[in-house]
Structure formats: C-alpha cells, structure tokens
Amino acid sequence: MTKLTINRRRFLGTAAIGAATLASPAYLRRASASGGEVNIWTYNDFVPEAFKKQFEADTGIKVNIRLVDDQGKQFNLLAAEAPNPTVDIMTVAGHRFLQFIDSELLAPLDTGRLSNWGNINPTFSESDWSTINGHKWGAPILSGMEVLAYNTELVTPEEARSWDVLFSEKYKGQTAYIIQDMMSIVMLKMGYDGNMVAYLDDPEKAAAIVEEAKAFLIEKKPLVRKYYDSGAEVQQMFINQDIALGHSWNGPAAALINDGFPLAMTIPQEGSYGFVYTYNIANNAPNPDNAYTFLNAILASPEIGASMTKASGFISTYKDASNYLTDLEKKSTSFSDDELENLQFFRAEANEMKYGLVDPAVEAIKAA
Amino acid sequence: MSDGVAPRTGRGPDTTEKNRLTFWGALSSWTPYRLVVGLATASPRRQFLILAAFPLLWVLTQHLGPMLQMLRVSFTDAYPVAPGVEQHFTLDNYARFFGDHIFWQPFFRTLIFASVFTFCTLILTYPVAYFLARHVSRKNQMLMLLLLLIPFWVGEIVRTYAIMILLGNTGAVNQLLKSLSLIDRPIPFMYTSFSMGVGIVYLTALYMLLPLYSALEKLPKSYNEAAADLGASAWTRFRRITLPLTLEGISSGCTLVFLISTGFYATPVLLGGPSTTVFAETIAGFFHVAGDEWPTGAAFATIMFLAAIILTGAFQKLMNSLRKGDTN
C-alpha cells in the first residue's frame, strides 16, 4: 500500500483546481463526461478558430463544421435529410425561421438550458421577430444589413446618400448588387413595404408592386456591371476596381474597411433592411446535449462575440462586444443614429407570397 | 529435385494433400464450388458478364442512377418531400418551361454561346495540335502534352479566378496595356461575354486538343508529300487532305467541348455579366431557392440535356455525311 503524503503546496494546488472545476460553467462539467461531437452548418468565420480549439480541449466534444453560403441551399439540404438530419446546429437568418419551422426542420430552443442567454443584447434576443408560435427558435449571434458600399476615392459621401446613385449614368458599368435583395430595396425606395407584410390581404397589389420593381430593374440593367451572389465576389470586384460602388452586406464591406481598403458604407436615406443570423438546433438533432453545450459556450463572453465580428465583419449581438474591438473595427461596424433610423428588419410573415412573386421576377430580370 | 509434393499444372484446382488443408485449397476442390465456377465460365459470354459485372454496376449506380433519380424528380410536384406532404406525378415542370418565355432566352443563349465557344476552341487549338503532331519530334511531343496538361491539375474555380486576375481592371492585361501607353483607363474586359468566352475556351481547350492531336498524329506524312509532289499548295493540301482526314477528331473534340460548355455553371457565374446569364444559372436558381423548386430544376436540366444530345447527334450525323461524301 502506498503511503499518502500531502504537503502544503500540493494541498493548495489541489484545492485551487477543485475550486476552478466547481466554478467552471455547468456546460463543461456536463460535457466532460459526454465527449462525442457536434455537427454545425455555418458561414465562414462564424465559429472563431481559437474558440473551437478551446471548446474541444475543454469538453472533449469534436466540432465538425460544414460551411454554407446560402440559406436556400441549407434548407434544401436539411429537408433532404429530414427527419433524421446529420446536423445539430445550423445558421438560419431570422427572417427565414418561418420556412424552416413550417417544414418541421427546427427544434424550439430551450433557453432554460442556456445559462448565458442573458449575454445577448435584448434588442436581438427579445425582439418581435425572434418569437414564433410562442417559442424562441435560435440564439442571435451576428447582425447584418443591406448597405450601399462605395470606394471613397471615386464616390463622395453626398452622392451615396441615396440608392439612386446605384442607378445613375455617371457610374454606368461600375455598380453591382444581389438582385434578390435589391428587389426589396427598390420596393422600399419606391415607397412600398419591401417585406410585403402590408399586402398579405391584397395579393394583386403585391404582384403589381413586384412588377413595378422588376420593370425598374430591367430598365436599369444596362447600367449594372454584375449581379453577384456572395460577399467574396463583391469584395473581389472592389479590390480589382471593377466597381466603384455597390449594394453589399455590411460584413464583407466592413472586412475590406478593416483591411485598409478605401471603402465606406451607408444606409441611404430611403432606408434599408437588416437581418440577424442565429444558431438553431435541428429537429431530431443527433447530438442535442452537445449542441446546447456548444451554444452555451459560444454565448459565454463578449470577447467571443467580438472575435466573430472581427472575422466576419458583421455586428455582434452580444452585450459589450464592442469593448473588445479596435477603433477601426468599431467604425466599420457602427452607423449613425440617422442611418439606423432608416433601418428595418426583414420579416417573414409574407415570405411565401413575397418569394413566390420575387423569384420569377428575378429570373425575368436576369433573362431580359 | 522433388520435395514430395506433386508439381502444379496451373490448370484446375490444386488437389495436393498440403493445399487441401488451406481454405482456398479446400474451397476449390469443393464440388458445389467447382460446379458453380464451371457453369459461370462455361461460355465466353458468361466470362464477359462476370468481368463486366462490376463496371456495369458502377456505371448504373454512380452515373445513370443519379440521372434517373433526377429524371424521376422532374415529374413530381414536390421534392424534397416535406413531412405531411404527399408527392404526385405531374408534367407541370416541363410545361413551365414551354409556357414562360423568360426561360427561353437563357436557354437559347446557352446553346448559341456553346456553339460559338466550341468553334473558337476548335480554331484556336487546331494549329496547336497540328504543330504538336506534325512539327514536334516524337520525343518532345509527350513533354509538350504534359506541359499543356499541367493547368488541368488545378480545379475549375482556381483557373477561373486566374482569368479574373488576368482580365480585371487592375489585372495583368490592363496593366500591360497601360504601361505600353496604349490605354488611359482600364478596358472593362470582365463580366462580359468576352471574359466568359476566354474562360470557357481556356477550360475546354484540352478536350478539343487531345482528339485533334490523336487524329493528326495518325495521318501519314506521305499523303501530304505526295500531294506536294503533284503540285498542291499548302492550303490545298490542308483543305483536301489534312482537314477531311481529321474530321473524326474534329467531331469528337467539338462534341466534347459543346456538351461541357452547355453545362458550365461556375465559370459563367464568376466571369459573366448581367447579359450573359446561361441556362445552368437558371437551373441552379431552382435548387438554391427554398421550397419545392427541385422538380422544376430537374425538368429544366432534362430539357437542356435532351437539347444538347439532339444537337450533338445532328452534328455527328453531319460530320458522318461529310466524311462519307469525302470518301465517295
């Protein structure tokens, strides 16, 4: 039998480790026993690499990330795998919730299992779009918006006050936009509800509005250099100076600004739309406990939120995340009160009618 | 020197005492096994079927299987099928194409682009193949072919981005023209049918080059020499001898390039502009947008597939008649 000897230093050390273990978040204690894996579908840079490594080391849970670049593709992939998906957590934009929920692809989020839920800014976690059918469906992580981005060496801030500059002869062949998103913006610019919620009871008017926006974009087609699809494309076009200005998501534009590219972005006076990316748990997820462990861990501190902003350029939904950003990063992720006053979030209520009208219109514009 | 074991003949199962103890030895002398093997290999036809079974299974499951599945999806009204939704068979997805003219423009544009790009690829690669096959020594031909193959070790997207770097406003071509004082402002090469064409020709060149090289390489030099002796000019020799006798290579190369060009997606998306939307983008749109648009996408893909097959069939027929006409 080995004689147990303990000295003062070892005792203090053991006591400290014990205290740290007891004080560590509940997710670590639960997960250390579980191990296994968690499968995540998300956009590039939405899970910070340092956080992933730390989480895997702390919990023994392997994080498998599959990159996505499109909400529609993600929906189709998940629908094809239903009712037994391979994914645990996916990244759905808030205004697309309804479609996923209607198809029974998401599980309601049990916020009671997320002790760090309170770290999210209530503007995002408690806003009207975040509760559907009496449930929360996702943990907001990053916020984005449709902005007008412009090369500051070629376009003046005064010119960029209105979306009209995107359709001006002066910048013919030097503009680009995502045509699907531009449909909503053009409707807003024309004084209509780009979310189309206002026309839920009047489908004829909705069709007429979409027709008007379609006709406008067909008329302006000779002015545009490129209809693009992904953030990387618009960044490439700005860097190559193929375009002087364009509609963009704030994330890709902010990333260029942070890299020192002479770019600025604004929410024009006619207004624009915002959206929120959320982490959601799939219905019948194969590793639900690990999914909750991951969600609670990623919501644990504002530094994690800030690192997601640094990597993606989108605005963190975490309280106090901006405290961990540099001045340039703060500048590239903040807007004036006047600009934010013109911002409204995408809504999902009329999505079926909206996309039923907008998708064929987009095809018609491309084909024209 | 004998080791006490009867020598193996190489024919029939080994029935020695030693091998009978091993699994294969025991199996090969087991009567039912011998009966089955005997029946299976009794005729050349059966032997062929045994050999072909795995490749056939591969083609059926990995190549034809997904296509047939997509064909089936094209006749359904919902896919992927959401819980609680019943799937029905319908022709509506095909009717949608014929009933809405907005889809015709990218469809015909694709066929026209594919034809033009195929022709451009032929014109550009024929001299290269001719030079390789007729003017490069046998020893260097393989080396040059290898050099031409190197870009094909890189993926389509990377090669497409290389074109973007080349043709962008700040790209190598514009920089060169600027440094030569030939232009003040960059020429907007990118996001036009020109940049798209450059990309597609670059990406498909080898598919044209190899059949052409093969055809030209087989052509005996003595034919041209005899024609030259009889007073035929270089152009006449090319028109009356080289071209007709390489029609098979032209036909194969054009068919390959045309079929590949009709299906290109990433290159037109990345290099093309608003006025160059091709049908593959339209089809992809149906798969990207959420909901039950997969059947429409599958139907449109089937329509394009059939159109491409019919056109290449007609082209092959034309080439065959040209070849026959030449022979007669």
Cα angle for residues B267, B271, B275 (degrees, 5° grid)? 110
ipTM summary value = 0.71
Per-residue pLDDT of B96-131, as tens digits, reads 999 988 899 999 999 999 999 999 999 999 999 999
**Structure tokens given for A306:** 């800030």
Arithmetic mean of pLDDT, A158-170? 96
**Lowest-pLDDT choice from A1-10, A146-155, A269-278, A342-351:** A1-10
Per-residue pLDDT of B286-306, as tens digits, reads 887 666 688 999 999 999 999
- B8 pLDDT tier (thresholds 50, 70, 90): very low
Residue A145's pLDDT is what?
93
Report the sign of the C-alpha dihedral through residues B305, B309, B315, B316, in that order: positive
Percent over 70 (pLDDT), chain B = 91
Q: Which residues in chain A touch residue B269, judged by CB atoms under 8 angstroms apart?
A: 229
Does the distance separating the beta carbons of A359 and B277 come in below 8 Å? Answer: no
Report which of A71, A54, A108, A111 is spatially closest to residue A285, judged by C-alpha positions: A108
Per-residue pLDDT of A74-91, as tens digits, reads 888 888 888 889 999 999
Least CB–CB distance from A76: residue in B80, B169, B285: B80
Does the distance separating the beta carbons of B282 and A240 come in below 8 Å? Answer: no
Q: Which residues in chain A touch residue B190, judged by CB atoms under 8 angstroms apart?
A: 240, 242
Arithmetic mean of pLDDT, B38-44? 83
Residue B100's pLDDT is what?
86
**Lowest-pLDDT choice from A16-30, B97-111, B251-265:** A16-30
Element (H, E) at A113: none
Residue A8's pLDDT is what?
39
**Structure tokens given for B161:** 């981005």
- B327 pLDDT tier (thresholds 50, 70, 90): low
Which residues, other chains included, contact A343 with Cβ-Cβ below 8 Å and sequence gap of 6+?
Answer: A145, A267, A271, A272, A273, A274, A335
Per-residue pLDDT of B170-226, as tens digits, reads 899 999 999 999 999 899 999 999 999 999 999 999 999 999 999 999 999 899 889
Kindly state whether B66 is in contact with chain A, defined as any CB-CB distance less than 8 angstroms: no
What is the DSSP pairing of strand A272-281 with strand A139-151? antiparallel
What is the DSSP pairing of strand A37-42 with strand A62-67? parallel
Question: Is-contact B188 B169, C-beta < 8 A?
Answer: yes
Residue B16's pLDDT is what?
54
- A249 pLDDT tier (thresholds 50, 70, 90): very high
Kindly state whether B185 is in contact with chain A, defined as any CB-CB distance less than 8 angstroms: no
Least CB–CB distance from A80: residue in B80, B190, B293: B80
Per-residue pLDDT of B266-284, as tens digits, reads 999 999 999 899 999 999 8
Residue A341's pLDDT is what?
86
Kindly state whether B269 is in contact with chain A, defined as any CB-CB distance less than 8 angstroms: yes
- The chain-wide mean pLDDT, for chain B, equals 87
Cα angle for residues A293, A299, A301 (degrees, 5° grid)? 125
Arithmetic mean of pLDDT, A85-101? 89
Query: Rounded distance, CA B52 to CA B59, Å?
Result: 11
Residue B36's pLDDT is what?
85
Question: Is-contact B82 A283, C-beta < 8 A?
Answer: no
Tell me which of A73, A76, A219 to substitute to probe the interface with B (most B C-beta atoms closer than 10 Å): A76
- Of A333 and A253, the structure prediction assigns the larger pLDDT to A253
Least CB–CB distance from A70: residue in B83, B191, B288: B288
Residue A3's pLDDT is what?
36
- B6 pLDDT tier (thresholds 50, 70, 90): very low
- B24 pLDDT tier (thresholds 50, 70, 90): confident
> Å from A338 to nearest chain B CA?
34
Which chain B residue has the Cα nearest residue A361? B102
- The chain-wide mean pLDDT, for chain A, equals 87
**Lowest-pLDDT choice from B92-106, B130-144, B264-278, B312-326:** B312-326
Report helix angle B279-288 to A351-367, nearest 10. Answer: 170
Question: Is-contact A203 A353, C-beta < 8 A?
Answer: yes
Report which of A94, A15, A71, A81 is spatially closest to residue A274, judged by C-alpha positions: A94
Query: Rounded distance, CA B301 to CA B294, Å?
Result: 10
Kindly state whether A156 is in contact with chain B, defined as any CB-CB distance less than 8 angstroms: no
